[in-house]
Amino acid sequence: MHTGSEVLVIGDALVDVTVQPASPIRPGADVPADVSIGFGGQGANLAIRLARQGVRVELICGLGEDRAGALVGAALRAEGIHLSPVRVAATGAVVVLLDESGERTMLSQRAPFAVAAVSVLPSDADWIAVSGYLLLEADAEKLPGAVGARHSRMVILGCAMPSGAAARDWIAVASAMDPDLVIVSLDEAGDIQPGSTLHARSVITSPAGAVAHLDGVSVEVRSTPGAPARDTTGAGDAFSAGLIASLLTRAWPPTAPILEAALTRAVALGSAVAQAAGAQALVAGERDATLLP
């Protein structure tokens, strides 16, 4: 049931297995490593970061009727998130391989659920945030008509977008959804045509900071040099949460000063998460919803 959420998030909720080898991986060898098990997924990461900033959040995600699904669901509800799960064959999982600089390689097993999600969409929400991974699924072309009819502010999050024809398909679906905002990395932005509607409503992130082009307003914010990244998993999702939370109650489109302040907050939150271990680690400035009465 819809509970009057400020932000409806549609995206994955997964089990994360993070592995950081103590030395280079050698085929056929037993390499010591730090291994941890937690939770992740672009949808869950975004929803949790928003909830910790006091935003009312509803998450539509795919969960299996398995032990992993029960654990993921319990963790999300403990964060104060209203959960609207779509049943899938098995709860997804990601193995995150970290190198010495904190950069990651992800081995993902996710269950498609975009088409099924259409059947549980609420009638409205102040904002709708759609994970870019759903736009890569078969039948993703059904999303624009279903999600776009919800008269909400819409933001699309980028993903590990492939190149070539798959990237063109992603951009076609994203364009058809007519989002108010699309948040992509510098690498992903290379496939978006300058002058297009997506480019004119984009926020582009990089290790150096972020640049926003939003309905004629352009703003750039540089990141503050600090400690090196420990684990970049979830940092982009944290950036998106900081940006959305800052713009949630503002008039649209935001003015340059409001957009600059929102980008500054987003960059700071993303940087803090990159220096923590795990996609959903609690960082300074966030409330621990699991400890609230």
Q: Can you give the pLDDT at residue 292?
A: 55
Report pLDDT digits (tens) over 199-217: 999 999 999 999 999 989 9
CA distance 203 to 94: 26
Q: What distance in Å separates the CA atoms of residue 93 and residue 19, rounded to the nearest whole number? A: 13
Give the type of residue at 168: R
In order of start, what are the domains of the chain with their CATH numbers? 7-22+33-280 (3.40.1190.20)
State the pLDDT at residue 115: 87
Helix, coil or strand: residue 227: coil
CA-wise closest residue to 43 among 70, 61, 58: 61
Q: What per-residue string of b and e applies to 26-57 under the rule 16 or more CB within 10 Å gives b?
A: eeeeeeeeeeeebbbbbbbbbbbbbbbbebbb
CA 238 to each of CA 116, 211, 243: distance values in angstroms, whole numbers, following the listed order: 26, 16, 9
pLDDT (tens digit per residue) in 47-89? 999 999 999 999 999 999 999 999 999 999 999 999 999 999 9
Q: Output the CA torsion sign for 213, 215, 218, 223.
A: negative
Q: What pLDDT does residue 142 have? A: 87
Q: Residue for token digits 């993902």?
A: 108
Give DSSP secondary structure letters for 174-222: HHHT--SEEEEEHHHHTTSPTTSHHHHEEEEEETTEEEEEETTEEEEEE
Distance CA 205, CA 235 (A): 11
pTM: 0.92
The residue ranges of the chain whose pLDDT is under 50 are 1-2, 293
Measure the CA–CA gap between 203 and 241, rounded to whole angstroms.
13
DSSP 109: E
pLDDT computed for residue 151 by the predictor: 63
CB 127 within 8 A of CB 49: no
Neighbour count for residue 250 (Cβ, 10 Å): 13
Instruction: Give the separation between CA 214 and CA 262, rounded to whole angstroms.
Output: 13
Dihedrals phi, psi of 169, to nearest 5 degrees:
-65, -45
As a whole number of angstroms, the distance between CA 167 and CA 190 comes to 10
